[in-house]
Amino acid sequence: MREHAAAAALPETRRVRLGSSWDGPVHGLLALVFVTLQLTPVVVLSLFLVRLHPAAVAALLAATAIAIFSQARRSLGPTEVLLGVDGLSVLSGGGPRFVPWREVRSVHVVRFDIVLRLHSGEHLRIPVSTPEPERDRALVIAIRSEISRGPTSPPQSAPALERGGRDLDQWRDALRALAANSPAYRGQSVDLDDLERAVGARDALPEQRVGAAIALAALSDDGRTRVRLAAASSADLPLRDALADIADERWVPATIRRAVRA
């Protein structure tokens, strides 16, 4: 019963593709010009060197063309938006960016872009390479629905789950000891319900969610299932990776550090 309730409370993320820069003729032409300009100096240099070692020059030219083409694809598209219970991630050529729901004030469409107005005053533009009014309207409605929800606050004991400057392995061992032995941790009562609330709370700090996940995963298979569901529901990609590793009983310090921004 607890597992079914967790599944209902933590839906998986939704991924919305906003077209690819390679879908439209204008962006495709820009990509071609980009590749041509980058490749021209290499071609000119190759014309001078081709007599020295034709096969080596041809291989170099081919490798350079592939590298530039890959760079163009990363820079020019596609753009995707990943919606989770904790926020959204914009996936584009510039790399992913995660924005928690609590930081989003409003959303609207400006020409071909979806624009998020953040509480910080920043206007985050999400480029739409291939406009589709119905899809774009549905995405705006979904974002507005999320930011209109009240906060899902972590339990009062959640700060006790934080790392507190300790070594990662020490933090992990202390949390596992909490799960195995004691109902109290660092002077505060932390029970199973607290852990489940903390790992799935949309406004909990990543460090609190990771701490709750470590303790839950040490408890039982049901605890690991809960952590796995929390991972599937998160749009915060570093946190998602860390929770998935913890659910599968893998301990990768580099992944944990990225998740807690340490």
Residues 227-256: what's their mean pLDDT?
96
Q: What is the pLDDT of residue 188?
A: 53
Has residue 130 got a pLDDT over 60? yes
Among 44-53, 55-64, 192-201, 252-261, the range scoring the smallest mean pLDDT is 44-53
Mean pLDDT of the 114-133 span: 88
pLDDT at 52: 61
Q: What percent of the chain has pLDDT over 90?
A: 42
Q: For residue 10, what pLDDT band results from cuts at 50, 70 and 90?
A: low
CA 119 to CA 138: how far, in whole Å? 23
How sure is the predictor about 203, in pLDDT bands with cuts at 50, 70 and 90? confident
**pLDDT above 90 (res 65):** no
Tell me the CA distances in angstroms from 242 to 119, 199, 230, 251, 260, one per residue in order. Answer: 28, 12, 11, 9, 9
The DSSP string of 89-150 is EEESTT--EEEEGGGEEEEEEETTEEEEEETTS-EEEEE-SS--HHHHHHHHHHHHHHHHSP
Convert the pLDDT of each residue in 17-28 to its tens digit. 887 544 455 555
Lowest mean pLDDT among 2-16, 37-51, 227-241: 2-16
Confidence of residue 73 (pLDDT cuts 50, 70, 90): low
Whether CATH 2.30.29.30 fits 13-18+78-148: yes
As a whole number, mean pLDDT of residues 213-228 equals: 93
pLDDT band at 157 (very low <50, low <70, confident <90, very high): confident
- Provide the pLDDT for residue 4: 37
pLDDT of residue 205 exceeding 60: yes
Q: Is the pLDDT of residue 5 over 50?
A: no
* Between 255 and 13, the higher pLDDT residue: 255
Which of 1-15, 119-133, 244-258 reaches the highest mean pLDDT? 244-258
**Mean pLDDT (whole number) for 173-199:** 74
Bridge partner list, 83: 14, 88
Alpha carbon distances (Å) from 18 to 82, 125, 231? 11, 13, 24
Quick check: helix, strand or coil at residue 246?
helix
Query: What residues does each domain of the chain span?
Result: 13-18+78-148, 25-76, 158-260
Per-residue pLDDT of 43-64, as tens digits, reads 666 666 656 666 766 676 677 7
Contacts by 215-221, CB closer than 8 A, 24 or more apart: 215/161, 215/175, 215/176, 215/178, 215/179, 215/190, 216/179, 217/246, 217/247, 217/249, 218/175, 218/176, 218/179, 218/180, 219/179, 219/192, 219/195
Average pLDDT over residues 208-221: 93
**Residue 165 DSSP one-character state:** T
